[in-house]
């Protein structure tokens, strides 16, 4: 439900933490609901929006979509990171379980249908923000990688 998004901290938590906080029940959309699906690129491998910049844009776009569509049901949001199980992005988060991995693969297969049947698709462009950790560079030489003994050319 879109109302849940307002309660989330940024960066937005992954699916597994949302299930822990709000429960695993999912609403099957009805003809009266408004289904919004977010299409976006991931700027970083483990989290699509580590600085919360896309979150602001998504909130603004969903507000606009609600103004543009008169609905009698509930607004629902599909955002892959929060709608499908994810790999850990913070220390201490567990890996996907075998069941979560199976569900994830089924969700990947269903993505075309999700976007095709949504009432609106929100396309989010964004900058690729730099993270401090990405500025860290560590260089290795062949000698250190393969532990070449001293004196060997």
Three-class SS state of 78? strand
120-124 vs 34-40, strand pairing mode:
parallel
**Burial of residue 93 (number of CB atoms within 10 Å: 0-12, 13-18, 19+):** middle
Q: Is the pTM of this model over 0.85?
A: no
- At residue 123, φ and ψ (nearest 5 deg) are -90, 120
The answer to whether residue 144 scores a pLDDT higher than 90 is no
What confidence score (pLDDT) does residue 52 get?
Answer: 87
Give me the pLDDT at residue 23, please. Answer: 84
- pLDDT tens for 3-26 read 888 889 989 999 999 999 888 878
Dig out the tokens for 111 from the structure: 């993505």
């Amino acid at each position: 439900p879109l109302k849940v998004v307002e309660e989330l901290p940024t960066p937005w938590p992954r699916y597994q933490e949302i299930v822990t906080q709000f429960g695993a029940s999912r609403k099957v959309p009805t003809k009266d609901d408004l289904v919004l699906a977010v299409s976006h690129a991931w700027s970083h491998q483990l989290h699509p929006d580590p600085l919360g910049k896309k979150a602001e844009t998504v909130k603004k776009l969903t507000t606009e979509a609600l103004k543009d569509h008169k609905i009698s049901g509930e607004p629902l949001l599909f955002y892959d990171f929060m709608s499908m199980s994810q790999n850990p992005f913070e220390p201490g988060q567990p890996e996907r379980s075998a069941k979560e991995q199976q569900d994830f693969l089924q969700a990947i297969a269903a993505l075309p249908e999700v976007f095709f049947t949504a009432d609106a698709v929100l396309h989010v462009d964004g900058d690729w923000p730099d993270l401090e950790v990405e500025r860290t560079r560590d260089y290795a030489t062949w000698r250190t990688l393969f532990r070449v003994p001293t004196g060997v050319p």
